[in-house]
Structure 1
Amino acid sequence: MQATIPVTVLSGSLGAGKTTLLNYLLQTAGDRDLAVLVNDMGTVNVDAELVADGSDLDVEGGVAELSNGCLCCELRDDLETAVVRLARNREFDHLIVESSGISEPEPVARLFTTSSRVAATYEIDALVTVLDTRLFVDAFAGEDIPERRGVDDESDRPLSDLLIEQLEVADIVLLNKTDLCDEAELEEAEALVSALRPVAETVRTEFSAVAADRLLGIDAFEPSEMSESAGWQRALEEADEEGGEPTGHDHGGAHGDGHDHRHPDDVYGVDSFVFRARRPFHPERFAAFLRKLPDGVVRSKGVAWVADRDVKIDVAQAGPSVRATVRGPWVATLPEVERDLYRSNRPDLEWHDEYGDRRTELVFIGTEYDEASVRDRLDDALVTDEEWNRAADLENRFPAANDETLVVREP
């Protein structure tokens, strides 16, 4: 049986240094015979031409172009066709996919693990995210940074959202342009990467110069960890292991006790905690809380129970950006047969006799914030008994359906 071809997926924001890295790898790959697939959002694939100019490949040979869209969105079918055609028409040792600067790497990686005709030929070797370190530090230090703008609606999302999403699935993180940062900033960046993606290896680079052996043929990708090893998920798991179940609250609700806390990196002040509650949030007070998160909170993520919204509200904050969407219904709201079947298949599901699986579970990761103050503000945002009884009368902008999004805060 023929061995599968290893694949490296490169991601990073526009200008982070992905194409520079790609050219460097092509020039220093030694005996490796590389094929490259690059994607650019313009009508002309400039990246492909830059790569071809800097290597022995030509655009019609080892470089397969995709233009006018994103690898992981509109052009998913074209990506599948392109990689299958590459393997059929050309012999090579390793495929590198450089995704657009406004693309998330996870959907690209999933193509190589879920498409039967692609998975029969290819196997993901590593997901590599290139960070503009100066931009990364500024994005999560409350500085004003230029926001990316592209040609589709998805590109209107803040840059901080994309930086986090590209980082939270990475096997290797290149802290590029380190010459523009001092040592303290580099150490802060490394600490943040460690907190946001604990399993990733971090490499400092200037001009994306890194030995090919550190990125290619390293067998670093673990499908089970792609979306399960983000820092916020690790924090939830560790809080559970430490017995961080909700404790009694003085007006009938519950919140996380002091055990729902971890120290990703005490040296550089990166810390996290988990807040849990068995009482819904007052929609206006919770929205006000999210709008005024401390600058030191880099990432918060999880599910919130909001009064008069009998669906799971997914809260995702990355730096100055906060958005709320619907993750799905609470199990407690399902018809009895479906509910019982779900619970029988999930014996570990936390269940309350009165509220079922309804509860808030939010993780906060950051530096130099007052945890006690954040917890107090969260407690204050929960409904009182009187408010709970008239929840339907409260003004509520949180989404109620899957196709709705509430932009709570933007840069």
Structure 2
Amino acid sequence: MSERPRVPLLLISGLSPGPGSQLADTLRAHEPGTAVVHHDLRHITSGVVRRRLQLGARDQLSALELAHGCVSCTLREDLLPLLRRLSRMPEVERIVVRLDEAMEPEPVSWALHNVLVGDQPVITDVDLEAVVTVVDRSTWFADATGEDILEERGLRASPEDERTVAQVALSQVEFADVLVLTGGAADAWTEAKTGAVLDRVAPAAARVELSGLDSAALRASIPAAARRGEVTDMHGPLLTGEPPLVPDCGVELLTFTARRPFHPDRLHDAIDVLLDGVVRTRGRAWVASQPDVAFWIESAGGGLGIGHAGPWLDSPEGPAWDEVSPERRTMASLRWHPDFGDRAQELVVLTHQATPEEIEAALRGALLTDAELAEGRAAWRHYPDPFGSWHEEPCDDTEVSPDRHDVSAQPRKDDTR
């Protein structure tokens, strides 16, 4: 008897539950044998998650009591085992997971590939066809550039969730293979700016309209080179998909690079420049007081996260060259310094009101001066360091990555403003 092929799986994310539900219903109606799973996290702070499972005539609502009330628990204790069971049911031909508004698809994809259910990850049973994000143009730009935190919208994914709405909005779009557009912006200028931002944060994602969309058209829109849930290395390229490099509607990309470290105090003072009038910041930083580890800096709207991205290749605890991606080896080879190895500053900043020149000047001013550079590493380690302690998520473990990226180097959010 031949082994059953992996069951196709589609992830749907987005901040607007109505259009997301509409898309899931469309897929289920057009494709018999489609199971639709949705976890409602609105009561997760009380340790309760409401799960809805639709399959054929079955429409089942369940209240799940979780030990810790967090997304990691929801994945580990319910969603992943459920996907394995569904994939082995003969009547299930496809699975659609409609993520809660507060969930980002990247950590879900990471869990599918890395968390063991029994003795294997779930990806051995399912074939992740695509990640689809629903974008409501009437609200998305304001969400992606605003300062609201999830708690203010009643959207927290755990009692300790301090993420901003902008962080979730942008993460959902950046990881998508297909953007399903709905609604209309309040005016032509906002619609144009929305398009300019999407062009730069998700240049490789296909765009289709929700109105009139059917399952065949959605699947036909998935790009041939879609990432399909592949989680990228934080030491990989920061610009992918050939985003436009020219300004549009005041939206502009700045790439900041430097071959000397930041002074920790001056970087801490300057870092607010990444919040005012900035849509998104992502990248790696080299801080003089902690020379052996790369910092990961990520901002969205009014939210800022700072964490560790693991050691540099040149660090004593750094990975071997054959343990990292070919892209990382190539980039390290091109910029290798006889004293500092692969250490470097690399930040990509997307602005919509701030001027790139002001951001560039502030970051340049935070670098070590020639005199400080000459003091050497022994002196740098004694600089006052406001980044010296790192917050561990209370539900963090080695089974489910609560944040994103490489399991060996999960970012820890040290500062959310």
> Normalised by the shorter chain, which TM-score bucket?
0.7 to 0.9
Amino acid at match of 2:99: S
In structure 2, the residue matched to 1:193 is 198
Amino acid at match of 1:152: S
CA contact (8 A) 1:40 1:70 kept: no
Structure-1-length-normalised TM-score: 0.76
SS of equivalent to 1:157: coil
Moved more, 37-46 or 86-95: 37-46
Residue of 323, 339, 342 corresponding to 1:354? 339
Q: For residues 329-344 of structure 1, what are the structure 2 equivalents within 5 Å?
A: 329-334=311-316
In structure 2, the residue matched to 1:245 is none
CA contact (8 A) 2:144 2:167 kept: no
* Residues 1:215 and 2:218 are matched in the alignment: yes
SS of equivalent to 2:23: helix
In structure 2, the residue matched to 1:251 is none
Question: Which runs of no fewer than 5 residues in structure 2 stay unpaired?
Answer: 393-410
Residue of 156, 163, 168 corresponding to 2:162? 156
* Residues 1:295 and 2:281 are matched in the alignment: no
* Residues 1:103 and 2:84 are matched in the alignment: no
In structure 2, the residue matched to 1:259 is none
C-alpha distance in 2 between matches for 1:77 and 1:46: 13
Displacement of 1:267 in angstroms is 4.2
Displacement of 1:358 in angstroms is 1.7
In structure 1, the residue matched to 2:137 is 133
Moved more, 372-381 or 388-397: 388-397
In structure 2, the residue matched to 1:375 is 360
SS of equivalent to 1:59: strand
Moved more, 117-126 or 39-48: 39-48
Amino acid at match of 2:386: R
Q: Considering Cα pairs closer than 8 Å and 6+ residues apart, tell me whether 1 or 2 has the greater RCO.
A: 2
In structure 2, the residue matched to 1:314 is 296
Displacement of 1:218 in angstroms is 5.8
Displacement of 1:188 in angstroms is 1.9
1:73-98, Cα deviation, whole Å (9 max, x unpaired): 54325323212222333413321011
User: Percent identity between the aligned chains?
Assistant: 26
In structure 2, the residue matched to 1:19 is 21
Aligned residue pairs, count: 374
1:233-278, Cα deviation, whole Å (9 max, x unpaired): 453797xxxxxxxxxxxxxxxxxxxxxxx73464444321211112
CA contact (8 A) 2:177 2:206 kept: yes
In structure 2, the residue matched to 1:86 is 86
C-alpha distance in 1 between matches for 2:187 and 2:48: 37
CA contact (8 A) 1:168 1:229 kept: no
Displacement of 1:183 in angstroms is 3.2
Question: Which runs of no fewer than 5 residues in structure 1 stay unpaired?
Answer: 239-261
C-alpha distance in 1 between matches for 2:352 and 2:88: 50
CA contact (8 A) 1:148 1:159 kept: no
Change (3 A) 1:210 1:309: same
Displacement of 1:194 in angstroms is 1.8
Change (3 A) 1:36 1:193: same
**In terms of Rg, which structure is larger?**
1
RMSD: 3.7
C-alpha distance in 2 between matches for 1:269 and 1:227: 31
Amino acid at match of 1:321: G
Amino acid at match of 2:88: R
SS of equivalent to 1:137: helix
Amino acid at match of 2:207: T
Structure-2-length-normalised TM-score: 0.75
C-alpha distance in 2 between matches for 1:344 and 1:197: 22
Change (3 A) 1:277 1:148: farther
